[in-house]
Amino acid sequence: MLSTNDYHSDYPNHWCPGCGNFGILDAMKSALAGLGLSPEKILIVSGIGQAAKTPHFLQCNCFHSLHGRALPIATGAKIANHHMTVLVSTGDGDCYGEGGNHFMHAIRRNIDVTVLAHNNGVYGLTKGQASPTSMEGMQTKMQPGGVIVGAFNPLAVALSLGAGFVARGFSGEGDQLSNLIQAGIRHRGFALIDILQPCVSFNRVNTHKWYKDRVVPIEENHNETDLIAALRLALGTDDRIPTGIYHRMESPSYTDRIDKLKDKPLTDHRYRPELLKALLND
């Protein structure tokens, strides 16, 4: 039996005291322990940002890559060795800003990775500029007159792209979040968990309390396979923010669709000169 301690990293944490990232980190540990996935079976890929530092603070294999590029790195790694459990720790700027194009196309590929998008509505590491998910009107040092563009709705976009697993968590609801992460990892295919997370240093609008007042678990009778129902939830216009699984529907993941990956991962193939000789003598 694995416990959350098995994921403890000695590397000192960099986050601000009170940051929502800690809740996400705890939920990740408990989810991994819950699934019995030992550190050496896990690869966590991240971009750049506060969220993207996560894999340093856990025991795991880690690729802390470039701002915005976690998903293509994860995609390449998963194709090379689809026996790995691949998680992506990313921020709202990382995933929906710089990495927006990869976000869309990773969903189209249905690559079997679980994306934990630490959505704090702000660029934390670069000190508080608006992010794609910042609410309209939010003032920052860089946007002193308030944000004038519409907020990015990751769930609606993922749904419209055909994502098979779309969920929303909140860093302040650890148990629920741990369950969502477990469900996301278990889902064979692309899984998005957009996690609402207060940034105590820079986001003065979406505070812990602000979220607490708004998050509500999705109603029991919600049909996870009904795409339009999921879109309605995601586009919902009242104040409430439903948390839980919006949509879940499996279809073969990218690596499941490639015949030559049926037997074993690409990494496990041997170099076979005879194959090349056949081509060279063609």
Partner 1 sequence: MTVDISVLIGGEAGQGIQTIGLLMARTCHRAGLYVMVINDFESRIRGGHSFIQLRISDRPVHGPTRKLHMVVALDERTYGLHQPELTEGGLVLISKDHADTMAQHHRYKMVDFGGVAKKAGSSILANTVAAGTSLALLGAPFDLFENILKSTFNQVEEKRLAQNIQAAQYGYTAAEDETFKWSWPWAVTSPKGRLVDGAQAVAFGALAGDCRFSAFYPMSPATGIIQHLVDMAQTVPLVIEQAEDEIAAVNMVIGAAFAGVRAMTATSGGGFSLMSEGLGLAAITETPIVIVNAQRPGPATGLPTRTAQADLQFVIHASQDEFPRFVFAPGTPFEAFSVTARAFELSERFQVPAIILMDQYLNDSLFVAEESFEAPETVTSYTAADDLENPVGYRRYAFTDSGISPRALPCKGPALVKVCSDEHDEEGHITEDADTRDAMVAKRFAKVAAMRKEIRPPEVIHAGSDILLVSWGSMRGAMEEAVNQLRADDINCGGVHVVDLWPFPDTALSEILEKVTQFFVVEQNQSAQLGQLIRQQTGCQYTDAVLKYNGRPMSAGEITDAIKTKLR
Ligand X SMILES: Cc1ncc(C[n+]2csc(CCOP(=O)(O)OP(=O)(O)O)c2C)c(N)n1
**Per-residue x/- mask for partner 1, residues 197 to 226, rule CB under 8 A?**
----xx------------------------
Of the listed pieces 35-43, 121-129, 212-220, 270-278, which binds ligand X according to CB under 6 A? 121-129
Interface with Mg ion in residues 109-168 (CB under 5 A) = 120, 124
- Of these partners, ligand X, ligand SF4, Mg ion, none, which one is at the site of residue 15 (CB under 5 to 8 Å by kind)? ligand SF4
**Interface with ligand X includes 126 (CB under 6 A)?**
yes
Q: Which residues contact 185 (CB under 8 A, 6 or more apart)?
A: 31, 35, 37, 85, 87, 114, 191
Residue 84 in the binding site for partner 1 (CB under 8 A):
yes
Q: Where are the alpha helices (DSSP H) in 148-256?
A: 154-160, 174-186, 208-212, 227-235
The answer to whether residue 64 forms part of the interface with partner 1 (CB under 8 A) is: yes
The least CB distance from residue 40 to ligand X, in Å, is 26
What b/e sequence results for 53-68 when a residue is b if at least 16 CB atoms lie within 10 Å of its CB, and e otherwise? Answer: bbbbbbbbbbbbbebb
Q: Whose CA is closest to 203, among 139, 154, 153?
A: 139
Angle at CA of residue 35, ends 30 and 38, nearest 5°: 85
The verdict on 125 binding ligand X (CB under 6 A) reads: yes
Nearest in space to 168 (alpha carbons), one of 114, 254, 226, 242: 242
Nearest Cα neighbor of 154 from 217, 221, 65, 246 is 246
Distance CA 112, CA 264 (A): 16
Closer Cβ to ligand SF4, 57 or 190, answer by number: 57
Contact set for ligand X, span 70-99 (CB under 6 A): 91-94, 98
Token output for 248: 């879940």
Q: Is 109 left (phi over 0), alpha (psi -120 to 50) or beta?
A: alpha
> Between 30 and 133, whose beta carbon lies closer to a copy of itself?
133
Lookup: tokens for 35: 């699934």
Write each residue from 9 to 48 as x if it is in contact with ligand X (CB under 6 A), else as -, in one continuous string. Answer: ---------------------------------------x
Report, in Å, the least distance between residue 242 CB and partner 1: 27
Interface segment toward a copy of itself; rule CB under 8 A; list 30-38, 85-93, 159-167, 211-219:
159-167
Task: Point out which span in 15-23, 86-94, 155-163, 180-188 binds a copy of itself (CB under 8 A).
Answer: 155-163
Binding a copy of itself (rule: CB under 8 A), the pick from 34, 39, 162, 265 is: 162
- Mapping DSSP to helix (H, G, I), strand (E, B) and coil, where does residue 183 land? helix
Please state the closest distance from residue 159 (CB atom) to Mg ion, in A: 22
Looking at residue 52, its amino acid is A
Q: Can you give the binding site for ligand X, defined by CB under 6 A?
A: 48-51, 67, 91-94, 98, 118, 120, 122-126, 131
